[in-house]
Structure 1
Amino acid sequence: MSILTKMIGDKRRWREYKARVRRLPDNYRTAVEAIEHYVMYFGPTDGDSVMSMFEDLADRFEKAAADGTPIDGIVGEDPVAYADAFLQNYQSGGWVTRQRAKLTKKIALAAHAG
């Protein structure tokens, strides 16, 4: 199993998502691809959660494109803050969440030892 398959899960869902993104107007597609690249590093690591996250991202941008909402009307003035807020909905399986849990557990153990 390739790392991409492990990360995204069902290849069919991934291909469908990518087709949706390709159908977006160029500027919306560029924005989605930039957010996609960013969240790949910080988002969930199980395939179903990753795909749900990307499908939700496509939903948001498809709706915005249909409504004529400008990109900055979606992401605001700070695209990093937008991406981080978006990610918070999907953090249960993410690397950052697991590392935070490990740190909390280790500190608790250290605090109660000795």
Structure 2
Amino acid sequence: MRIQDIIQGKKEWRAHVARVKALPQDYQIVYKEIQKYLFKVGPVELTDGMGLLSGIVDFFEEGAALGKGVLEVTGSDVAAFCDELIKDSKTYADIYQQSVDQKVNKAIRKGTDNTI
């Protein structure tokens, strides 16, 4: 990764944070909780640019412009809202689960081969 790429990434992140700070307080609180949730759950494409997070800010800006409260936009179950956003996304948990499954299957095959 070039230094210019790093600098550009920082500029984009700062602009993103400025957009979040421009949202009404209730939207900022929910956005931060969504961000924490997504960082914990770990959708793989979350690290590929800021598409998902920027999309959430876009959505929140539209809701705020219409005068809606944040829970009118997301629904009362914010975790379910997040899950719906990433339902078709591969997560780091999925990758880890596949790795564990492969290791278990390999160990089982190896154990089976020893008994024959």
Q: Distance in 2 between matches of 1:13 and 1:98?
A: 28
Letter matched to residue 48 of structure 1: D
Counterpart contact for 2:27–2:60, Cα < 8 Å: yes
Q: Distance in 1 between matches of 2:42 and 2:58?
A: 18
Q: How many residue pairs are counted as aligned between the two chains?
A: 105
Determine what percentage of the aligned residue pairs are the same residue. 27
Aligned partner of 2:102 in structure 1 is 105
**CA shift at 1:30, angstroms?**
1.3
Q: Distance in 2 between matches of 1:76 and 1:96?
A: 25
Aligned partner of 2:20 in structure 1 is 21
Secondary structure of the structure 1 residue equivalent to 2:43: coil
TM-score by length of 1: 0.72
Residue deviations 1:49-76, cap 9 Å, x none? 5x11211111111111112232222221
Secondary structure of the structure 1 residue equivalent to 2:31: helix
Q: Give unmatched runs, 5+ long, in structure 2.
A: none
TM-score by length of 2: 0.71
Q: Which has the larger radius of gyration?
A: 2
**CA shift at 1:83, angstroms?**
1.7
What root-mean-square deviation, in Å, do the aligned CA atoms of Structure 1 and Structure 2 show?
A: 2.7
Q: Which has the higher helix share?
A: 1
